Amino acid sequence: MKILLIKMSSMGDLFHTFPALTDLKAHYPDVEIDWLVEESFAEIAAWHPAVRRVVPVNLRQWVKQKRRQDLQAFKAWRRELQQEHYDVALDAQGLLKSAVITRLADAKVRHGYDRDSAREAIASWFYHTKHHVDTDQHAVLRTRKLFAATFGYTLSEPFRFGIQEHFTGGSADSKQLIFIPGSSWHTKLWSVEAWEELTALATDQGYQVEIIWGSEAERQMADRIAASQPQAWRSAERQSITRVAEKLVSAAGVVGMDTGFSHLSGALETPTVALYGPTSPAKVGLIGEHTVNMTLNPALPCMPCHKRQCRLLPPNSIDTPPCLKEINAAQVWQALQEKMS
């Protein structure tokens, strides 16, 4: 059986799909799976051993630019896509854009979520077979259930992400920790002072700490944190996601914010603590016994607000919001130690 999986983005959504691929390959060892994904995430999709071929697409660029050459590039890409015939095309994203792409594929049958389960109800119009999957559950379980309904098998526990073995070339370091202080929202950031305190707690116990950064603002934050302790540092250059993954899989433990690299650490089954403030981990948080989604307890009445600006702070403030500020370093360190043990 030849399958085309459509799950184009984002980074965290791709990680949430890995357990379903592990399930499918366990039930059908001879299945051939091609994964259609945004080009910027192609290397991530290729990590899973069940994936035969990655089909990259530049849909974001084509839609954003809308130039003549972009239309020509899309038509050429569509012709190449349709040269391959699939028994099943499965849209695991449930958006209009992913449903349209599913419709373009040369597939005997197209599967996806029904209108009550898809993130955009109109997407269900494009499928031959539609599956109802309760939306009030974690994204990992939702995707696993969609796969199980599509291919006719019963889920079993525990599940595995299935990508850890891709990065087992290096040796584990029992005294190496990774901290990931950055995030795309100001409201998702913990204070530098809190990170400095956490770093001190770790290095006092004999650990070394590497601080991961991706943007200029994150590099400056990493510099401030690293300057507080001689056993803490950051890389001189921005690292590829594959290189970060290699470091995460060999670390003794990881602490991060609600960001893609924290989800990656969880998918690599490294003991990981992720801090949540304005967002909720209920449906898209880290999952597995090796992870902790830490939130303020008791929660503030406004949590989760899912806002880029905290209404409890002055307009345009970049200060740490109360939902994260009141989580202290000692609590985080204790949670990490429990998972590492």
Specify the pLDDT at position 143: 98
Query: Class assignment of domain 2-160?
Result: alpha beta
Specify the pLDDT at position 71: 82
Which of 240, 283, 278 has its CA nearest to residue 258?
A: 278
Specify the pLDDT at position 59: 83
Query: Could you report the per-residue pLDDT of 5-40, keeping only the tens digit for each?
Result: 999 998 999 999 999 999 999 999 999 999 999 999
Residues of the chain with confidence (pLDDT) below 70: 169-171
| Domain boundaries 165-340, corresponding CATH code | 3.40.50.2000
Domain ranges in the chain are 2-160, 165-340
Q: Is the dihedral of CA 84, 90, 93, 96 positive or negative?
A: positive
CA 87 to centroid of chain Cα atoms: 28
Which of 26, 23, 268 has its CA nearest to residue 164?
A: 268
* Fold agreement (2-160, 165-340): yes
Query: Could you report the per-residue pLDDT of 208-221, keeping only the tens digit for each?
Result: 999 999 999 999 99
Specify the pLDDT at position 34: 98
Specify the pLDDT at position 170: 61
Query: Could you report the per-residue pLDDT of 173-201, keeping only the tens digit for each?
Result: 799 999 999 998 999 999 999 999 999 99
